[in-house]
Structure 1
Amino acid sequence: MSGGRLAGRRAVITGGATGIGFGVARRFLAEGAAVLLAGPDEAVMNDATGRLSADGAQVVAAHVEDLSHSGAGERLVAAAVEELGGIDILVNNAGGGVITATANHTEQTIRRTIDNNLWTTLNSTLAVLAPMLAAGYGRVVNIGAESVRNGLNGHAIYNAAKGGVHAFAVGLAREYAASGVTFNTVAPSYVLTPEIQAGLAEGTLPEEFRSITDIAVSLIPMRRPATVDEVAAAVLFLASEEAGFITGQVLSVNGGSSMG
């Protein structure tokens, strides 16, 4: 579409093939942006771009890579330039990891959790800095986590990674406040993604995970999880021109589980 709040903008969404990332991609495309999805699984990426294109999206492309690897950020920016002609918006949604009691973690699971959440964000953000600063415009929106604030069970290692994501955005926002590039974080509480919904219906989710989600809902005064669309709406706002005077902030999408 030619109109919309992101008309003419070029957006890269990491982890954009599933869950929150896919919801953000769909919303961005509906608002006129050209979108590049990035993630490590080629089959999943092809399925996502196919579904988005079937919705009538004009420009949707994919870059297949593990963004935690050295040089991945530079290759991501090169792909955005090739496919979209540049990059105006970066959504750092890539994440995941091992959610379990801290004593259950190993060095391998800790590294995987840090890599998936923090290193992907560091690599992608550092790579987009130069082109955004040169253009005098940019929006970097991270997907953080409400659990950083409320200390949800089984999330200590995950929070170490996501807490770094929160702090990184604040530091960049201060450093580049006068540049035209903003850095913000959307921090959702428990989000009922299509993948989680399917796992619950099919009974394939581990008992520990289901127990943690029950606790997460009990901490939310609204007594329900967030929807993907609710999170995507917050990301859209911070990625738009309307949010030009907002930087270094954490926007909680949490049903009131922490306030103030």
Structure 2
Amino acid sequence: MTRLDGRTALVTGGAGGIGAAICRHLAEAGARVAVCDLDHVGAEETASALPGTSAGFAIDVTDSSAVARTVDAVRRQFGEIDILVNNAGIDTIEKFADSTEETWRALVTVNYLGTVIVSRAVLDSMIERRRGRIINIGSDAGRVGSSGEAVYSGTKGAIIAFSKGLAREMATKGVTVNTVCPGPTDTALLKKVAAASQGLYDALARAIPMKRIGTPDDIAPAVVFFAGDGASYITGQTLSVSGGLTMV
């Protein structure tokens, strides 16, 4: 079992869904967890339910100054950040021909630039200490594309490519960078899909070789693995957690 005792993890988008499960699994592995989310109240509520040492922080991943303030607050409370999980993201399911520039810009700014901004905010300290784990949450949509999510798929593909590029730069610095790509997962967004079309939801479940939709608790252990010592020789990798839906 991976242990992360004495290490500090910062998780963006940690208030709910996959992010909350990641926070819980990191805490159960012994990490001090900074639950960071635009929803500060939700972040605090999630943190209060975790075992060990945790706290909730407000973060706006699209604002580099706000991110710097949050990172400083985490450091003051917990010490230097050893593990960064870039999980914050948004999605809108609609045909590209029906989408708007406002939606495109929001998706790119939150999903891709947010990952870049937060990574940059923690990187110098990791390089200085020659120790760090960056785990970015992509999506299988970024590997194979997804109907109704063209721009979202592009942002997740960008995260995969960014992770590989940064992993190459950091390979001799003691910092690893990897990507976890969830497949269809039981989150609020997928519930919207079911509400719009139960038939589509059921077809999606049937398409998965394991014949079920994933849960946030299916995704989180992959993050804990990449954060641990057992993954110290693994960097620049993309791991799909999708019940076999995507085999790349």
Query: TM-score if structure 1 supplies the norm length?
Result: 0.89
- Displaced runs of 4+ in structure 1, greater than 3 A? 210-216
Root mean square deviation, CA, Å: 2.0
Instruction: Output aligned runs, 1:1-260, within 5 Å.
Output: 5-52=3-50, 57-193=51-187, 195=188, 199=191, 206-207=195-196, 213-260=201-248
Which string of whole-angstrom CA distances, capped at 9 and with x for unpartnered residues, describes residues 69-126 of structure 1?
A: 1323322321221121110000000001212111121111111111221121011001
Give SS of 2:180's match: strand
Aligned residues: 248
Identical-pair percentage: 40
| Structure 1 residue 147 displacement after superposition | 1.3
Give SS of 1:186's match: strand
Structure 1 gap segments, 5+ residues each: none
Give yes or no for contact 1:72–1:124 (8 Å, CA) kept in 2: no
Give the distance between the partners of 2:70 and 2:229, measured in 1 at CA: 23
| Structure 1 residue 51 displacement after superposition | 2.4
| Structure 1 residue 154 displacement after superposition | 0.7
Give the distance between the partners of 1:180 and 1:64, measured in 2 at CA: 29
Give yes or no for contact 1:71–1:123 (8 Å, CA) kept in 2: no
| Structure 1 residue 65 displacement after superposition | 2.4
| Structure 1 residue 151 displacement after superposition | 1.8
Give the distance between the partners of 1:78 and 1:205, measured in 2 at CA: 40
Structure 2 gap segments, 5+ residues each: none
Give SS of 2:64's match: coil
